[in-house]
């Protein structure tokens, strides 16, 4: 808890510094907000709901492919809760890996299957985004905005995604590699936890982790042997990405700025990855300046880039965190508070 308190303090300090040093640009951005078309901005509501629906369909088709179907009426609120958890708890974007198993165990879904579902979701999210990055470079090239920096960023993102995908497949594709990985992972996590909780030197028990990863390996090999079952999962992962980018673009249209979609695609990818890796809640203080900087380098005016980024973040956080808070606490009330996030 002390660590969370200090991280949240660091978050507020970082945001305060950003506001102070960028106050003049922020003022210009806020002035730009006054010209927002509210009727266009309202479109964020149905598109955000559709984005949640698309994520839920990714999980729905995954569980169906692995022989453990879960109903959409269970998955949709669970996805909204998962988004809330990943935004609120400072954990570098991995809080969901402990929350989703808790959320779905009541429907008979094992920890290993929930873990593999989330790995699959993240991998396919990034892999399908490669196609969007290629489209983005083409669109920017048409307007001569595909500068060296943008090309470098898109290329780096593509190779990073491919490398991480191959690395994950390499580890879970062999039982011996999984055993070695779980031993190292358990040892590292126990060492970190031991710093803060000296009376519990083996909080992460190796036997339990090995059982989970063994089942994960079996499910992976089953899917690998019949990848045709994953077509719908891949399709909905692509649809999910398009819906997420559409959310950003709606905000630009609400500003009256019909910017090049390629700039939005690349900026969103960089900001999303940075927000995922950042330890601060929701990637605050990292997501916003990065996204605005990439948009600026792609030829978007600074006031439009900053205003649109801030409006997008505030609007989507309200739309995501509001329902997420309600569903999350209803779940705690229904199933109890004995879960990893409390």
Instruction: Using only the alpha carbons of the chain, give its radius of gyration.
Output: 21
Mean local confidence (pLDDT), 213-226: 66
Long-range contacts of 91-94 (CB under 8 A, 24+ apart): 91/279, 92/276, 92/277, 92/278, 92/279, 93/275, 93/276, 93/277, 93/278, 93/283
pLDDT of residue 57: 95
> 220 pLDDT exceeds 60?
yes
Which residues make Cβ contacts (< 8 Å) with residue 313, sequence separation at least 6? 287, 288
Is the pLDDT at 319 greater than 60? The verdict is yes
pLDDT beyond 80 at 21 = no
pLDDT (0 to 100) of residue 34: 64
Mean local confidence (pLDDT), 155-167: 78
Whether residue 17 is predicted with pLDDT greater than 70 in this model: the reply is no
Burial class (CB in 10 A: 0-12, 13-18, 19+), 298: buried
**Is the pLDDT assigned to residue 26 strictly greater than 70?**
no
**Residue pLDDT, tens place only, 95-149:** 667 788 888 888 888 877 888 888 888 888 888 888 888 888 888 877 776 666 6
Instruction: Kindly indicate the confidence band of residue 217, based on its pLDDT and cuts at 50, 70 and 90.
Output: low
Q: Where are the domains of the chain?
A: 24-335
Segment 199-227 shows an average pLDDT of 60
Residues 6+ apart with CB under 8 A from 233: 58, 61, 62, 65, 120, 124
Q: What is the mean pLDDT of the chain?
A: 75
Query: What CA–CA distance (Å, rounded) separates 23 from 34?
Result: 17
Dump pLDDT digits (tens) for 162-212: 787 777 777 777 777 767 776 666 666 556 555 544 445 444 455 556 666
Cβ-contact 240, 234 below 8 angstroms: no
**Which range, 61-75, 156-170, 210-224, 263-277, is most confident?**
61-75
Percent of the chain whose pLDDT exceeds 90: 13
- Of 157, 149, 167, 163, the closest CA to residue 132 belongs to 157
Say which residue, 277 or 54, is predicted with more confidence: 54
């Amino acid at each position: 808890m002390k660590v969370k308190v200090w991280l949240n303090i660091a978050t507020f300090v970082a945001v305060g510094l950003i506001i102070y040093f960028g106050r003049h640009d922020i003022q210009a951005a806020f002035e730009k907000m006054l010209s927002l078309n509210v009727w266009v901005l309202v479109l964020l509501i149905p598109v955000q709901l559709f984005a949640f629906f698309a994520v839920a369909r990714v999980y729905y088709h995954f569980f169906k492919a692995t022989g453990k179907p879960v109903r959409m009426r269970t998955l949709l609120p669970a996805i909204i809760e998962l988004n809330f958890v990943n935004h609120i708890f400072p954990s570098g974007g991995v809080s969901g890996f402990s929350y989703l198993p808790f959320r779905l165990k009541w429907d008979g879904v094992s920890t290993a299957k929930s873990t593999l579902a989330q790995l699959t979701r993240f991998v396919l999210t990034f892999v399908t985004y490669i196609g969007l990055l290629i489209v983005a470079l083409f669109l920017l090239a048409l307007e001569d905005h595909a500068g060296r920096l943008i090309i470098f960023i898109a290329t780096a993102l593509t190779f990073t995604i491919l490398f991480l995908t191959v690395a994950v497949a390499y580890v879970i594709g062999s039982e011996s590699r999984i055993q070695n990985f779980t031993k190292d992972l358990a040892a590292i996590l126990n060492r970190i936890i031991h710093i803060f909780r000296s009376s519990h030197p083996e909080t992460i028990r190796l036997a339990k982790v090995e059982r989970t990863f063994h089942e994960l390996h079996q499910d992976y090999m089953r899917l690998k042997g019949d990848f045709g079952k994953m077509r719908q999962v891949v399709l909905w992962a692509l649809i999910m990405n398009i819906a997420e980018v559409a959310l950003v673009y709606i905000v630009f249209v609400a500003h009256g700025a019909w910017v090049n979609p390629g700039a939005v695609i690349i900026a969103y990818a960089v900001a999303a990855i940075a927000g995922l890796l950042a330890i601060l809640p929701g990637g605050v203080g990292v997501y916003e300046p990065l996204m605005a900087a990439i948009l600026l380098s792609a030829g978007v005016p600074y006031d439009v880039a900053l205003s649109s980024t801030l409006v997008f973040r505030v609007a989507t956080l309200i739309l995501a965190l509001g329902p997420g808070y309600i569903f999350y606490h209803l779940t705690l009330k229904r199933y109890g508070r004995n879960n990893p996030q409390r």
